[in-house]
Structure 1
Amino acid sequence: MVPRYARPDMTAIWSPENRLSIWFEIEAHATEALAELGVVPPSAAKALWDWWATNPVIDVAAIDAIEAVTKHDVIAFLTWVAEHVGDEARFMHQGMTSSDVLDTALAVQLSQAADLLLADLDALLAAIRRRAEEHKLTPTIGRSHGIHAEPVTFGLKLAQAYAEFDRCKARLVAARAEIATCAISGAVGTFANIDPRVEAHVAAKLGLAVEPVSTQVIPRDRHAMFFATLGVIAGSIERLATEVRHLQRTEVLEAEEYFSPGQKGSSAMPHKRNPVLTENLTGLARMVRSAVTPALENVALWHERDISHSSVERFIGPDATITLDFALARLTGVIDKLLIYPERMQKNLDRMGGLVHSQRVLLALTQAGASREDSYALVQRNAMKVWESDGALSLLELLKADADVTARLSPAQLTELFNLDYHLKHVDTIFARVFGKA
């Protein structure tokens, strides 16, 4: 985790204090259930909760010192708790294995992280929707392969982004549900030394589902799904960030990141206004996606469990969620303050002498009786002249001067084919699909 790209609420989820607090709750709830089943005395659970009610400071350094001797993190934690709770602490961890604690705690942390990310997505969706509605009918050029294609609106570009991030949210809701599972099933998942009702009790207290069939661990396909979902969200972030970067090119300049008073773009060139935030988002997206492959590789553990997944998850759990949280917040800020230039969009629309209307002329010629092949050739030969003039010539005027074209379409008909509004007639329909009817 790099502090430069971290926000406090998400960082707190991965703090040792939060992790160890969750460990304690798991152990205390399990002891509570064991007491209800008559396996341990009720005084054991009471002693744990009474001590916890005093709001003890979790001494991470002391626990680390014990671990330096035991070489085992859960044993170090249990030893430290026992030093404070006293004799009743011996009833903790009855019939449990370390992974019962570690995996269930990780499920809680990932669920907490998902809740913050879902809130981040809600904020981003709100910002995108506001700007989309603001520019619903702002015409701009659509590009395929980076080349002028046909007119769209800037609002439609943002509506597409909204729909994409709305899908991201739905996936994350599903991934959260899948990762929010509890396993308190003992050394190899058979409940040989602990009643399944203990697992159910702990799961209910922590807001988790029970793992239907575990080994020593919760199966890692769940975690792979979670991190893959984060990777897809990162891909969507990069897609929108890349769009902004392209639109901020000097030759395009249809939109650009907000440039604050006093901001500098280059140590050498005082004139520079660079898309640094969206460039940064592209890099952050790469880092989030870098967690996906190791998460997938963690699925194939040996037999009932090996420990190869552990070191991986100590990295990717905090790093992927903290980075994605920061990235979503940064992208929300970019969209919220994005400078949008409708006049430049119109200028670029007009840049290539009406080439953007070529398909409509093609279709009109076919409807007027020409074959598709002949229609294509007629339009293309005039369009290439416009290309070669770098937009100085007008496609409409060239078509009006082409006898083969005017033999089928009148000048008035040709003029109507160059009406920009034709391309925008279904914007309301698309918006209703994305945002619902007004």
Structure 2
Amino acid sequence: MISRYTRPAMGKIWEFENKFAIWQEIEVLACEAQAELGQCGITKEDAAWIREHAGFTVERINEIEAVTHHDVIAFLTCMGERIDAEVPEGEEKPSRWVHYGMTSSDLGDTALSCQIVQSIDIILEDVKALGETCKRRAFELQDALCAGRTHGIHAEPMTFGMKFGSWAWALKRTQIRLEEARAVAATGAISGAVGTYSSIDPFVEQYVCEKMGLTADPLSTQVLFRDRHAQVLSALAVAASVLETIALQVRLMQETDVIEAEEPFRAGQKGSSAMPHKRNPITAERVCGLARVVKANAQVGYDNVALWFERDISHSGAERVVLADSFAALDYMFGKMQWMLDGLQVYPEKMEYNLNRTRGLIYSSKVLLALVDTGITREEAYAIVQRNAMAVWEDIQNAVAGPTYRERLEADPEAKLSSEVLDQIFDPWAFLGHKDVVFKKLEALEF
């Protein structure tokens, strides 16, 4: 991911310095485990020397890789140079025990799992922060009446706080999916070529994985099965879809003809190079755009699952791109959404205005039920309700200042409803008698 969309903490996880630092720790731990076993020639003194003197520089690794065209060998050569630099001439070199009995994927896959876990931990903090913000704002706006919309058309009254509450629950499910993906990804393997432990004791794998906070894969075939990585990318894609949904709502609410809410507009900000009046939802649009990248990357994860026989490296290059990019983009998206929703400007007066723009049509469902209660059939009631509603729609579409929906019903001899009943029907809060049930559930939500 380009630096524009990468926040520092996440970026550092996917830099070479961090990757090689994890590689180094795995190799040192493997030496310590071998020394504990005492099955090969490495001693605890050798392992201690290796830990004390191990090191690398990215520049030197790159120099070596330019010749070897093999990143693991380049790293091991660089690390070996550091380990042996102070060994007296003529003495055996401790670096010979590094990577003993291991294969490249033992190192690369186990380290990649560590990077994934580190990254998911950051995203989980993002989810927690945004979820708590949505919950807080839901209660702040639980009494802000607005029009609920289905298909983009006014449906029934609701409260704006319910929107935030819905987003909070979606983020809770996002948290659960990411935690599950983290558990699946927190797996290491140090089992040698094709996973048979032919040159390394299973104790080494167990020792290293425990120290690195991972679980040893029960049966790796030199590589970790890529369903794990596909699940991670899938969880990231769903998380991106959740943020995209919220951002899309903000964009819709910020439309000039709606303008019930808008993302923060900072002092000095400019909306358009040509039209100075513009306040565009640029952050929400950016989130929607980046969501497309994260969702598309999930497909690469699915394609990476199928490898030839026990392994190939067709997954490797693609994986280096999509994992880093997806984590960086999603972390950036969460940062922007936190800023946007925490500071979202809401306009309750405009919400109420919009609620009344359709001249009472939004109460049609209550009219339908009230007419059924008078003893006529649902079909008869529906005809009365729709006939009067369509007349109001026609006036609205033609910008005619005609009767309201209630006034048309009062003038319709077939709509036999008393003024008292109509008063109850045309009260928006009559739709929200069970609102407290929704917010009681939300009150119990924890991240």
Structure-1-length-normalised TM-score? 0.97
Residues in 1 aligned to 2:103 and 2:372: alpha-carbon distance in whole angstroms: 74
Question: For residues 267 and 30 of structure 1, do their structure 2 counterparts lie closer, same or farther at Cα, with a shift above 3 Å needed?
Answer: same
> Secondary structure of the equivalent of 1:10?
helix
> Secondary structure of the equivalent of 2:195?
coil
Match of 1:41 among 43, 47, 52: 43
Match of 1:264 among 264, 270, 284: 270
More deviation, 22-31/422-431:
422-431
Residues in 2 aligned to 1:231 and 1:412: alpha-carbon distance in whole angstroms: 52
- Alignment deviations for residues 26-84 of structure 1 (CA, whole Å, 9 cap, x no partner): 111111111111122222211111114xxx5x311111111111111111111111111
Residues in 1 aligned to 2:53 and 2:435: alpha-carbon distance in whole angstroms: 62
> Secondary structure of the equivalent of 1:149?
strand
Question: Structure 1: which 4+ aligned runs deviate by more than 3 Å?
Answer: none
- State the one-letter code of the partner of 1:340: V
2:53 corresponding residue in structure 1: 51
Match of 2:350 among 334, 344, 353: 344
Identity of aligned residues (%): 47
Could you tell me how far 1:437 is from its partner in structure 2?
A: 8.5
Residues 121-200 of structure 1 aligned to structure 2 (within 5 Å): 121-200=127-206
Question: For residues 223 and 211 of structure 1, do their structure 2 counterparts lie closer, same or farther at Cα, with a shift above 3 Å needed?
Answer: same
Match of 1:234 among 211, 219, 240: 240
- Alignment deviations for residues 214-250 of structure 1 (CA, whole Å, 9 cap, x no partner): 1010000000000000000000010000000000000
> Secondary structure of the equivalent of 1:192?
coil
Q: Residues 135 and 442 of structure 2 are in contact (CA less than 8 Å); yes or no, is this contact kept in structure 1?
A: no
Runs of 5+ unmatched residues, structure 1: none
Residues in 1 aligned to 2:49 and 2:349: alpha-carbon distance in whole angstroms: 71
Residues in 2 aligned to 1:191 and 1:365: alpha-carbon distance in whole angstroms: 77
Match of 1:424 among 405, 408, 432: 432
1:72 corresponding residue in structure 2: 70
Residues in 1 aligned to 2:219 and 2:83: alpha-carbon distance in whole angstroms: 33
1:373 corresponding residue in structure 2: 379
Could you tell me how far 1:129 is from its partner in structure 2?
A: 1.5
Question: For residues 121 and 392 of structure 1, do their structure 2 counterparts lie closer, same or farther at Cα, with a shift above 3 Å needed?
Answer: farther
Q: Residues 186 and 194 of structure 1 are in contact (CA less than 8 Å); yes or no, is this contact kept in structure 2?
A: yes
Residues in 2 aligned to 1:383 and 1:2: alpha-carbon distance in whole angstroms: 53
Match of 1:304 among 302, 306, 310: 310
Match of 2:61 among 63, 70, 77: 63
Residues in 2 aligned to 1:344 and 1:3: alpha-carbon distance in whole angstroms: 39
- State the one-letter code of the partner of 1:212: P
Residues in 2 aligned to 1:25 and 1:412: alpha-carbon distance in whole angstroms: 77
Could you tell me how far 1:392 is from its partner in structure 2?
A: 4.1
How many equivalent pairs are there? 432
Could you tell me how far 1:324 is from its partner in structure 2?
A: 0.6
- State the one-letter code of the partner of 1:396: R
Structure-2-length-normalised TM-score? 0.95
Could you tell me how far 1:313 is from its partner in structure 2?
A: 0.9
Could you tell me how far 1:287 is from its partner in structure 2?
A: 1.1
1:414 corresponding residue in structure 2: 422
Is 1:404 aligned to 2:414, yes or no? yes
Is 1:25 aligned to 2:25, yes or no? yes
Q: Residues 217 and 224 of structure 2 are in contact (CA less than 8 Å); yes or no, is this contact kept in structure 1?
A: yes
Q: Residues 117 and 186 of structure 2 are in contact (CA less than 8 Å); yes or no, is this contact kept in structure 1?
A: yes
Could you tell me how far 1:414 is from its partner in structure 2?
A: 1.9
> Secondary structure of the equivalent of 1:291?
helix
Runs of 5+ unmatched residues, structure 2: 85-92
Is 1:92 aligned to 2:102, yes or no? no
Q: Residues 100 and 184 of structure 1 are in contact (CA less than 8 Å); yes or no, is this contact kept in structure 2?
A: yes
Could you tell me how far 1:434 is from its partner in structure 2?
A: 2.5
> Secondary structure of the equivalent of 1:143?
strand
- Alignment deviations for residues 334-360 of structure 1 (CA, whole Å, 9 cap, x no partner): 001111000000000000011111011
Could you tell me how far 1:128 is from its partner in structure 2?
A: 1.1
1:361 corresponding residue in structure 2: 367
Residues in 1 aligned to 2:293 and 2:367: alpha-carbon distance in whole angstroms: 47
Could you tell me how far 1:413 is from its partner in structure 2?
A: 1.3
Residues in 2 aligned to 1:437 and 1:405: alpha-carbon distance in whole angstroms: 44
Question: For residues 437 and 24 of structure 1, do their structure 2 counterparts lie closer, same or farther at Cα, with a shift above 3 Å needed?
Answer: closer
Match of 1:83 among 81, 84, 100: 81
Q: Residues 233 and 297 of structure 2 are in contact (CA less than 8 Å); yes or no, is this contact kept in structure 1?
A: yes
Match of 2:224 among 213, 218, 223: 218
2:5 corresponding residue in structure 1: 5
Q: Residues 137 and 424 of structure 1 are in contact (CA less than 8 Å); yes or no, is this contact kept in structure 2?
A: no
